[in-house]
Each structure stands twice: as structure tokens, then as C-alpha cells.
Amino acid sequence: MDFEKTILCIGAGYVGGPTMAVIARHCPEIKVIAADINPDRIAAWQSDELPIYEPGLKEIVEEARGRNLFFTTDVAASIAEASIIFVSVNTPTKTFGQGAGRAADLRYWEGTSRQILEHATTDKIIVEKSTLPVRTAEAMERILNSKPQSVRFEVLSNPEFLAEGTAIDDLENPDRVLIGSRNTESGRKAQAELVDIYLHWVPREKILTPDVWSSELSKLAANAFLAQRISSINAISALCEKTGASVSEISKAVGLDSRIGPKFLRASVGFGGSCFKKDILNLVYLCEHFGLPEAAAYWEQVVKMNEYQESRFVAAMLKHMFNTLVGKRIAVFGFAFKANTGDTRESPAIYVCRQLLTEKACLSITDPEALPNAQRDLADVEGEVDFCTDPYEAAAGAHAIAVLTEWDDYRALDYRRIFDTMEKPAFVFDGRNLLPHDELFELGFNVIPIGRAPMCHF
């Protein structure tokens, strides 16, 4: 079949794969290629076992794959073929040198720019899909224009706002799409071309067309605001535990103010995920770099509050279980950083489990999707760690259950049956306020929620 044009995405990960699948679904006249240097990932995209779990993704991939959606490791040939190239490679936090622990590590990003420069033989629109420091597009333009040649590159910023677990819904019905461009004739022309693609399924009024720098910074700001709400409610949860107030009542009362709104006010063991921490630290670095230490300290506190919340959770387990966890079995319910994903990047479960093992506890970890990643995350630890798919098996013989991911499945379990198989006194530490605390208390459990006074039988 003859396609109108070819779009390429370099980086077929959590963002690149689903985004290209949705574009392919809505634009059958366009050939869509997702390319990655990782052959295992590409093989998985071509198989029945996709490399990531997202509700609804498999159906969309299966419908478009081989029709107008293709996965490949041949990045060079795909660059030559495509007229629009999305770049969705990973941009982790730098772990070395200047800005270590804060700045974005742009090695994959720069590597991609150089690859594009090497293999492009016709004009291209380059679309920043990765989350990047403000003014990265400028650096990219400099690299792309570093060779005297006739090929022209126009760099756009099109940050992604999808959340894992709801990626397909977020891509299908985005709150907004940002397409930032240079305010030049060629910049606006490239912007219009990308707007046309999104118009296949996104209403025009939801497509914003700011300048490139505002688009880049909007993404960091959006993630910082979301994480800030979680840290704010978590700070209140600490006060609730001391005063007998209930954080869920407070979330409800505060969230009903239409100026504030109800979302992202769920107190928890802490936020995880590959992006919140990294993007806020990147924002902190930018503020410092531009001589704004007060602004930097303000945002850094969001991350510090999150670390405090994680450590408070472990401290509460230790305190309630008579100040020793040595040899005690803890059933860990959930390892993913949130429900409906197998992703464990920066999951609070990693910190909690490592701390529990330092206290010489034994762990039985269960999770419906994340056990392979959990096994990798804890591959280097010493101590007794079992992984089992069945939560009943995980809880049998345990002294405590620690709920670390808000999987619906855990609500539907028979807790009387679980209680009967556990060591006594039996504890539930509910890091997600997921379970019916009063009912569990009635069954005999000692229940320690987040942001509510502990419910103990002694």
C-alpha cells in the first residue's frame, strides 16, 4: 500500500510504543514506525507478549501491526524514510559529574540527534516527545545544523502527559496536546503539520500551540504540580496520625472546593514512577542553574517530603511490631508503583522492601503484573525473599501484610481466611488506604492506615 507519509518514533518504550499505536490507529494513511536499539523490546512488540502492560494496548497494536504500524531495530533506515521523527528515548537523572542526582542525563537524547544527522537525506520535522530541560530544542537544533548540508530540520516540542495504567485512555482523550514551535514561518508550518495529525482524533480547542520553551517547561511544571499535591496531602497525613484526624475526610473536604478539585489527593506510602522524582529534580537543577535557589528549595521539598513518607511507613511497621522484625515474615501486597501497570521504576516498594530486609525481615512479595520487575529490582539483596502470584500464599504464616500498590484485586480477598493463616497478632499496614479498615479490625487484625490513628487490639 502507498502511504501519504512516514512517521518514525525513536524509542519504543512506555511512551513511544503506545503513542505510535494510537497514531497508527487514527491515521491509516500514514506509515508509523517505532524503532528501538533494544532488540528484545522490538521482538516483544512484534509478538503476542507486548513489552509493557497497558489496558487496551494489545488490541490496538494487533489491529494496526503489519497494516500501518511497524516495529524495527533498524533506526538508520527508518530515519532515512520518515519525514516526521518523534524522539521518545529515556532521559534519566544524571548519576555522575556536574548536576549528578538532579540534572537530566541527555546522552541518549544527544545520541539520537547525531544519528538523525548522520542518516537524514531529506528535510525532517523532529518532535521532542521525551521530557526535557527547557531549551533542549535549541541544543538539538545546534547539533542538527552542525554540518553544512542542504537538509533542513525543524524541532518541535510535543511533551507527553499520559499516565501509566491509563495510557491508552489518556492518548485517546487527552486533556490537552501541546505542540510548541519556533515563531518562524518554517516553525509554524511544521507545527501545523503535526496539528493535522492530532486533529484525526483530538478536538482543535484541546491542541495548544505555544512557543517551544513554554511547551518544554509546561511538562516539567505539570509533573511538579501533580507531585506537589501528593506531598501536600502526605504532609497532612503525618499530622492526622498524631491528632486523630482522618486524611480521607480531609481530602474530601479540601477536594470539594472547586478551585482545588478532588484528584491527586490520595495520601499514600509515597509517589513512585519513572518521572515525578526525576522531573522535579530536573526542575530544581534548572532553578539553581538560573540563580534561583529559593525556587529550587521550594520544589526540592516535594521530593524530600516523599522520602519522609516512605521512611515513616517503615518506621511505623517497626514500632508497631514491637521494635523488631528479625525473622518475621511480611507479605508485601503489590510491588508496582501504581495499579494497572507492571512498571516498578522508583516504586516505593523498592525502598520499603530493602529497609525491611535490612531489619532482617523475610518477605513474600505478590503482585499481579510486576513480579518479573520486582525480581530484577531486588536481585542484589541478601535475605529471604519469595515471590508468589497468589496473595493467600504470600500471607500464609506472615506476621504482617504491607499494602504497597492499590490493586483492586486486594479488596476482593477473603480476609477472614487470610487472618486464620497468619501469625498472631496479625497486622495490616495499608500504604494505600485501600482496604476496609474497620472490617479488618473487627476480624482481629491490627490495622495501621496512612493518615488515620492506628487501630490496635492492645
Q: Which does 338 bind (CB under 5 to 8 A by kind): ligand UGA, ligand NAD, none?
A: ligand UGA
Q: Which does 75 bind (CB under 5 to 8 A by kind): ligand NAD, ligand UGA, none?
A: ligand NAD
Three-state DSSP state, 9: strand
342 interacts with ligand NAD by CB under 6 A: no
265 interacts with ligand UGA by CB under 6 A: yes
What minimum distance in Å lies between the beta carbon of 343 and ligand UGA? 8
Q: Smallest Cα–Cα separation from 336: which of 48, 52, 28, 37?
A: 52
Given 3, 4, 29, 38, the residue binding ligand NAD (CB under 6 A)? 38
What minimum distance in Å lies between the beta carbon of 374 and ligand UGA? 15
Distance between CA 336 and CA 345 in Å, rounded?
8
Positive/negative CA dihedral, 31, 36, 37, 38: negative
Of the pair 16, 334, the CB lying nearest ligand NAD is at 16
Distance between CA 273 and CA 89 in Å, rounded?
16
Q: Using an 8 Å Cβ cutoff, are 269 and 310 in contact?
A: yes
90 interacts with ligand NAD by CB under 6 A: yes
Distance between CA 331 and CA 83 in Å, rounded?
52
218 interacts with ligand NAD by CB under 6 A: no
Q: Which does 226 bind (CB under 5 to 8 A by kind): ligand NAD, ligand UGA, none?
A: ligand UGA
10 interacts with ligand NAD by CB under 6 A: yes
Contact residues for 388 (Cβ-Cβ < 8 A; gap 6+): 364, 365, 366, 394
Distance between CA 412 and CA 148 in Å, rounded?
64
Three-state DSSP state, 255: helix
- How many helices (DSSP H) and strands (DSSP E) are in the chain? 17, 14
Q: Using an 8 Å Cβ cutoff, are 404 and 422 in contact?
A: no
What mask, x for binding ligand NAD by CB under 6 A, covers residues 106 to 125?
--x--xx--x----------
Q: How many residues in the shown chain lie near ligand NAD by CB under 6 A?
A: 28
The H-assigned helical ranges of 69-135 are 75-81, 107-119
Contacts (CB under 6 A) with ligand NAD, residues 261-280: 274-275
Q: Smallest Cα–Cα separation from 171: which of 86, 279, 297, 242?
A: 86
Helix 57-64 vs helix 16-26: crossing angle, to nearest 10 = 60
Q: Of 9, 27, 240, 275, which residue is the catalytic one? A: 275
Cell matching residue 252: 474530601
163 interacts with ligand UGA by CB under 6 A: yes
Identify whether 275 is a catalytic site residue.
yes
What minimum distance in Å lies between the beta carbon of 187 and ligand UGA? 25
128 interacts with ligand NAD by CB under 6 A: no
Q: Which does 340 bind (CB under 5 to 8 A by kind): ligand UGA, ligand NAD, none?
A: none
The H-assigned helical ranges of 27-68 are 39-45, 57-64
Instruction: Say how many residues make up the chain.
Output: 458
Give the dihedral of Cα atoms 81, 82, 85, 88; nearest 10 deg.
-60
Given 25, 41, 338, 399, the residue binding ligand NAD (CB under 6 A)? 41
Q: Find the part of the chain contacting ligand NAD (CB under 6 A) among 157-165, 195-203, 225-233, 438-446.
A: 157-165
195 interacts with ligand NAD by CB under 6 A: no
Contacts (CB under 6 A) with ligand UGA, residues 335-364: 337-338
Point out which residues bind ligand UGA (CB under 6 A): 131, 160-164, 223, 226, 230, 264-266, 268, 271-273, 275-276, 337-338
Point out which residues bind ligand NAD (CB under 6 A): 10-16, 35-38, 41, 75, 88-91, 108, 111-112, 115, 130-131, 160, 162, 164, 274-275
Residues that are catalytic: 275
